[in-house]
Structure 1
Amino acid sequence: MKTPPSRPGAEQAEGTTVRIGALVPLTRPGWAEAGRHVLAGLELAVGEVNDAGGVAGRPLELVVRDTAADPNRAMAAMDELARLGVAAVAGEYHSVVARAAAARADALGLPFLCSSAVLDALTEQPTQWVARLSPPQSRGWQIYADFLLGAGHRRIAVAAQPSAYWASGTRILRDGLAPRGGTVIELGMRALTPSAVCDELDAHHATALLLLVGHPEPAVSIVKIVRQDPRLTDIMIGAPAGQPEFAEWATQLGDDSTAIPFLRYLPERLSPLGARVEAALRQRLAESPSFVAFEGYDAVVVLADVLRSHGTDRARTAESWPRVAVEGTRGRIRFSRTTGVSVWQWAQAPVQVVDRDPAKPDRFRILHAEGDVLVPLVPRSDG
């Protein structure tokens, strides 16, 4: 695809700060805790870049906009950030919001490095303006399907709310499970109460229930009522989208927050860079950093490297995605074209299935990782 000429304001004037836009959900109905972690990673990395001399002697400036999980608000923010002359935009947690932002970035000719959203088709057509750090949903959720089979689950119920993201996840699970004898039972949460979910699980003899719903509600209510139902003492509850990653989950559910497997995008062991950043993020957040905080940090590391090498012209930034080779907190980051994914993708982002340890809820156990054989695994602790 030919790169169009740079738009007015696409090259920032010498001697000014280098502006980077940041999209994060900081207020409801957005998942504000996730947005706070993304922003902590972005801000930490910007501070470190500036302490090291900035970009060609010019400091980075982060221009933050709250999306509140609203696609229209995200598109308006992209328009505003483009007018403000940002060199690129990073961030966003919610997939449906990131999709709207990516489409607008493509239309504006504004580089967008999506840190955390996983929906495969972030844009309707392939675009050179958008790159992504998080694994595509098709890869992560297939690994989750492998975990379910390895744990002996063949009848899996999904409690799902209407959403392109949840519908895509259900389809990936079904495609991954059906050829190997698994069945996906859809429980539409538009019509069912949490109590009715229990009746459906019992009637269908499901051995696992996956929460493809919003947090905190109805996810918290579903977990509580399922855990209290004597008919369902052996059922596994799972949350592939990652709700149990955050401290708010443990606070709201207490002991019920544990043993709920979810996807997390961290390696089994952090590199020295990752360990140093983890300590700094822990101090900044006053709690254990989630994987999305690392994604936010890595997004700025990538953009700073691109801007140092190619300047602040937006077209040159977009052309540079395939030449990125940067050491991030979770491995060496390179972008490539991936089948079925419309944006530049970090294809080797790490993927784990983990849960909170019932013996120590603030500790995570690694249950499965990409490449593990399909047999029940002894949980590995990350400490």
Structure 2
Amino acid sequence: MFGMITQVCVPRGDETNASSVQIGALVPLTRPGWVEAGQHLLAGLELAVGEVNEAGGIAGRPLELVVRDTAADPQRAAAAVEELAALGVAALAGEYHSVVARAAAARADALGLPFLCSSAVIDALTEEPTERVARLAPAQSHGWQVYADFLLGAGHSRIAVAAEPSVYWASGARILRDYLAPCGGTVVELDMRALAPTAVCDELVDNRATVLLLLIGFPEPAVSIVKSVRRDRRLAEITIGAPAGQPEFPEWAELLGEDSVAIPFLRYLPERLSPLGVRVETALRERLAKSPSFVAFEGYDTITVLADVLRSHGPDRARIAGSWPGVAVEGMRGQIRFCRTPGISVWQWAWAPVQVVDRDPAELGRFRILHTG
């Protein structure tokens, strides 16, 4: 049975007895889900809900977030969508893990429940084109091609990927291979089901790789692999990369210390935050008691969009689903509009800003922007 977390922020004024408008939220809050990512996503969702209600809610009705923990389990997510639909939520929001978001999107689409996906990037979020699902995060093919451009610009052509079996990781490896091959780049896959972290070092030497990309789970085996590579003198010049964004979160630096730096990853932020972005960052930092990740900003923008849609179209699911092409909302990372993008089956914001960044060796808590796309 799912533990239920709800937030009800009642607006000021005489409408405190009005029934709420409910949004279902899917977030990973327990292992094996990436708990820290789920906490950041939820913090952004909750902050925006509170601000909506302080401003009067939705036509005087409070906005309520009804949260379900997916724990990175697709079946659990699909069951949560069923439950939330039966509870009468107007729309669905959230989710970080791509494989989980796919299961949620498929079930939401079948039930006629509009879903605004916050953070999952896999291109094939649904098997067939749908009008009901929209997404804020850049598609994997877009973001990872930006990352491939960064690798080529840095002079890398022999890339090794430490990979685990997953639709998401396999998709990422394919994107890199297809994009790098015409430019003379090669991608060698190391199957982490068969290799211990120390054996990865031997494979990197044998393949003369100049880059190792971590297409694997966190904290393990990612932490053990980074430590092994950093301590192998033969690999002193190799670049470790993590396009999926593992180094974004404070836990990365806490577990790896000095080994956490100079590992380029993707994040979805502009070079400079707008005044709105600065205000939201400050509020999120207070809420989380640590620096907010871009995932927290994705959560905030998700509610910003849904609140705008609800104010204009009400809580009717069909009208919400039909509203995606007309959205024009100023989020904290730019104006959000949805369109149909080739190869993407859902309404897509094309595109949130994309950066390749790493943690600064001179200061663990500071990020250096290495490339933008």
TM range (shorter): over 0.9
Select which of 218, 222, 232 maps to 2:221: 218
1:266 maps to a residue whose letter is L
1:135 maps to a residue whose letter is P
Residue 32 in 1 paired to residue 30 in 2? no
Select which of 234, 237, 244 maps to 2:237: 234
Deviation at 1:104, TM superposition (A): 0.4
Deviation at 1:144, TM superposition (A): 0.3
Find the counterpart in structure 2 of residue 187 from structure 1: 190
Find the counterpart in structure 2 of residue 140 from structure 1: 143
2:156 maps to a residue whose letter is H
Find the counterpart in structure 2 of residue 3 from structure 1: none
Query: Does the 8 A contact of 2:177 with 2:187 survive in 1?
Result: yes
CA deviations on 1:33-57 (whole Å, 9 max, x unpaired) are 0000000000000000000000000
Matches within 5 A, 1:336-375: 336-370=339-373
Select which of 55, 59, 69 maps to 1:56: 59
2:140 maps to a residue whose letter is Q
Q: Secondary structure, in 3 states, of the residue corresponding to 2:100?
A: helix
What CA distance in whole angstroms lies between the structure 1 residues aligned with 2:19 and 2:176?
49
What CA distance in whole angstroms lies between the structure 2 residues aligned with 1:15 and 1:260?
50
RMSD (CA atoms)? 0.7
CA deviations on 1:303-325 (whole Å, 9 max, x unpaired) are 00000000110000000000000
1:257 maps to a residue whose letter is S
CA deviations on 1:210-248 (whole Å, 9 max, x unpaired) are 000000000000000000001000000000000000000
Find the counterpart in structure 2 of residue 274 from structure 1: 277
1:358 maps to a residue whose letter is P
Q: Secondary structure, in 3 states, of the residue corresponding to 1:363?
A: strand
What CA distance in whole angstroms lies between the structure 1 residues aligned with 2:286 and 2:121?
28
Matches within 5 A, 1:311-350: 311-350=314-353
Q: Secondary structure, in 3 states, of the residue corresponding to 2:322?
A: helix
Find the counterpart in structure 2 of residue 250 from structure 1: 253
Q: Secondary structure, in 3 states, of the residue corresponding to 1:292?
A: helix
Deviation at 1:15, TM superposition (A): 3.5
The TM-score, its normalising length taken from structure 1, stands at: 0.93
Select which of 122, 133, 140 maps to 2:125: 122
Structure 2: 5+ residue stretches without partners: 1-16
Select which of 159, 170, 174 maps to 2:162: 159
1:344 maps to a residue whose letter is W
Query: Does the 8 A contact of 2:18 with 2:62 survive in 1?
Result: no
Find the counterpart in structure 2 of residue 373 from structure 1: none
Query: Does the 8 A contact of 2:44 with 2:299 survive in 1?
Result: yes
Q: Secondary structure, in 3 states, of the residue corresponding to 1:23?
A: strand
Find the counterpart in structure 2 of residue 101 from structure 1: 104
Query: Aligned pair count?
Result: 357
Deviation at 1:16, TM superposition (A): 1.0
Select which of 208, 211, 230 maps to 2:211: 208
Residue 307 in 1 paired to residue 310 in 2? yes
What CA distance in whole angstroms lies between the structure 2 residues aligned with 1:245 and 1:28?
19
What CA distance in whole angstroms lies between the structure 2 residues aligned with 1:39 and 1:125?
28
Find the counterpart in structure 1 of residue 7 from structure 2: none
What CA distance in whole angstroms lies between the structure 1 residues aligned with 2:18 and 2:110?
29
Q: Secondary structure, in 3 states, of the residue corresponding to 1:211?
A: strand
Find the counterpart in structure 1 of residue 8 from structure 2: none
Find the counterpart in structure 1 of residue 9 from structure 2: none
Deviation at 1:348, TM superposition (A): 2.0
Select which of 104, 110, 115 maps to 1:112: 115
Matches within 5 A, 1:15-30: 15-30=18-33
1:246 maps to a residue whose letter is F
Residue 199 in 1 paired to residue 202 in 2? yes
CA deviations on 1:242-284 (whole Å, 9 max, x unpaired) are 0000000000000000000000000000111111000000000
